[in-house]
Chains A and B, each alone.
Chain A
């Protein structure tokens, strides 16, 4: 069984909502569209207070090359443009729309018919990337990196394969799993489109073998696509990391930053992104909704919801049986890499893959103890780093040592902190060190 070669951990899977089919969430009364739904420059609002919008109306245009436009996911009237609390925990610019009815832009094809690439022979690489760019699609796995940037290889580098990340290695989350079970055809067309966009003839879909039903169904449907291979992978966290997935599927290692996957000839996209690309290119539908897993041990009805972007999380929790009494922490994303939320009024964004409600006992961190030099963190680190050292030098502000020990290679997966028997806040400190060192490197390169 294939998997990546260095480190990794295996947290309890807890895929509580794996058996619950995707259902549509109710429309919110007011939708909030943050201008910071992607990595890169924030989007610039193009609407004004009082403007009437429909589903699919452009609200904000991309603020640069590494940026993405934002479309309205509801119909109604723009209430205001103001700073609101978002999932990052800070107050940032957003467009707020009062919802009235559910009218869609006429250009969007809402039929369920599957359009294959062979039905649309006129599509070439450039048109596909352009359509993806205009639809505001970003990496839906959670990193929210604008999709068209990855599909535009920098000069001098050439991709030779596309790898689709259908690993879903985060515990609890099942959104990608359900998507594969319910829309396999669309995903495969999406993969075909990505392959066409970067001009390669080989595509892989990596799925962890804790989803045997999805592997079986996808393998069966992929028979029509001889260039797409479904790869079954051993269950190990963080297999969904881009570099780990490339290692697991094609056995190539991406060197330390600033090297990126394209340097080893791979383009990695999430399975949800492939689905969104299908909808954008074939159905003219910009990114206005996504599948989100709402789950937790005390949640009455853990579900996978197809929800409109901008819906407040409170509404999604209500859909799944309300907020349990013993809730100790609410996490946007999965338990390993997600971020605790400050309020339930926070709106859903393009990167919201899950909403995890932890009970009080799970939410509380244990008291940190002194490091016992067991080196478990070193063994668990999928990037081959020494987390105990990095965390210590970050606390001591020894940025040069941190840089020498490749702190910028850290993917912040949290395996070190998860495995630490002394409950040390390793990742907390490493994050501080990584951000500082990256800042130092940036200022150095801009000077020279």
Chain B
């Protein structure tokens, strides 16, 4: 009986002392976190993709709170949650949400098996990064898609898949959150995070080849040869620039007139999600075999 009593008292005293020590330590070393960080963090998608440029969702939440204290949420955007989530965040922080246009990943290569013949075979490790280190890859184009799908492996949202017939990655626009992981994974920088455009309509140069025209032309049927015809057609809006033998359409300046698409002798410029042209115009466009990705289907659905 005595032994039990001693044990109970001893343990009780140890417990009491420890709890006091813990109580003081928890007060002394308490980390004061802004409660708003947790609130903001709760409304974020918790994908931890890093698309916002911060390390995970909690990092982004902390940055938002800090920005709100500084006065503006300008430049803070969760690409996964998009505008609705940013409005919620702004609500918590008592700020006005900054309007942002939705973006989407665009694969700027149309070097399908048909357009771009293979002149070599790579049978090393199945990875774009490894293939890039060997030089040109399997085709004569040193800028086009390598086709091993590093981008597909990196997509956390299941928005990318490899098309077996073309050998190119396909973006599912509904699933794509424009987090940019695929763009970073591509060793050739083919994937661009671009403005989605009104109703998802946009005009893009689907080529990344910076070689001289003759070389680019030989490598791929759908390559940009840097002829500059599109630049001339766009002299009113000046949305197209030609640099290093490659045309680039500025999405913010583009007025979607699609004149450049008609002007391109190689069919390298593509219009996404537009309704089908009138029959007369259709004849003038380049062979429809080069129609990339989900160009045709969604527009028909509309």
Chain A residues with a Cβ under 8 A of chain B: 83, 85, 88-91, 339-340, 342, 364-365, 368, 395, 425, 428-429, 431-432, 435
Contact = CB atoms under 8 A, between A and B. Distances in A.
Given A342-B119, A425-B124, A429-B127, 12 more contacts: A83-B212, A85-B136, A89-B135, A90-B135, A91-B215, A340-B134, A342-B120, A428-B124, A428-B125, A432-B129, A432-B133, A435-B133
Overall SS of chain B's interface: loop
A91 B134 contact: no
Given A342-B119, A432-B130, A435-B133, A90 B125 contact: no
20 contacts: A83-B211, A85-B136, A88-B135, A89-B134, A89-B136, A90-B135, A90-B142, A91-B136, A91-B211, A342-B119, A342-B120, A365-B124, A395-B127, A425-B125, A428-B125, A428-B127, A429-B127, A429-B130, A431-B130, A432-B130
A424 B142 CA distance: 26
Interface of B: 119-120, 123-125, 127, 129-130, 133-136, 142, 211-212, 215
A432 B136 CA distance: 16
Contacts of A339: 134
B130 A342 contact: no
A88 B129 CA distance: 16
B244 to A, nearest CB: 12
A195 B125 CA distance: 44
Contacts of B129: 432
A436 to B, nearest CB: 9
B121 to A, nearest CB: 9
A363 to B, nearest CB: 9
A339 B124 CA distance: 12
B119 A429 contact: no
Contacts of A435: 133
A429 B130 CA distance: 7
A163 to B, nearest CB: 31
Contacts of A395: 127
A365 B212 CA distance: 34
A391 B124 CA distance: 14
Nearest to A395: B127
A90 B143 CA distance: 10
Contact of A365 (B123, B127, B135): B123
Given A425-B130, A429-B130, A342 B125 contact: no
A70 B136 CA distance: 25
Contacts of A368: 125
Contacts of A85: 136
A81 B206 CA distance: 30
B123 A364 contact: yes
Nearest to B154: A397
A432 B134 contact: no
A6 to B, nearest CB: 26
B149 to A, nearest CB: 14
A432 B120 contact: no
Nearest to B211: A91
A28 to B, nearest CB: 22
A429 to B, nearest CB: 6
A135 to B, nearest CB: 29
Nearest to A329: B121
Contacts of B123: 364-365
A260 B249 CA distance: 49
A340 B138 CA distance: 12
Contacts of B134: 89, 339-340
A428 B123 CA distance: 11
Contacts of B136: 85, 89-91, 342
Contacts of B135: 88-90, 342
Contacts of A89: 134-136
Contacts of A429: 125, 127, 130
Contacts of A88: 135
Contacts of B212: 83
B127 A91 contact: no
A37 B123 CA distance: 27
Quick one: which of A91, A339, A435 has the most chain B CB within 10 A?
A91
Contact of B133 (A91, A340, A365, A431): A431
A91 B142 contact: yes
Nearest to B136: A89
A343 B76 CA distance: 49
A325 B97 CA distance: 68
A364 B123 CA distance: 8
**6 closest Cβ pairs, A-B complex:** A89-B135, A425-B125, A428-B125, A428-B130, A428-B124, A432-B129
A364 B215 CA distance: 29
Nearest to B139: A342
B127 A432 contact: yes
A89 to B, nearest CB: 2
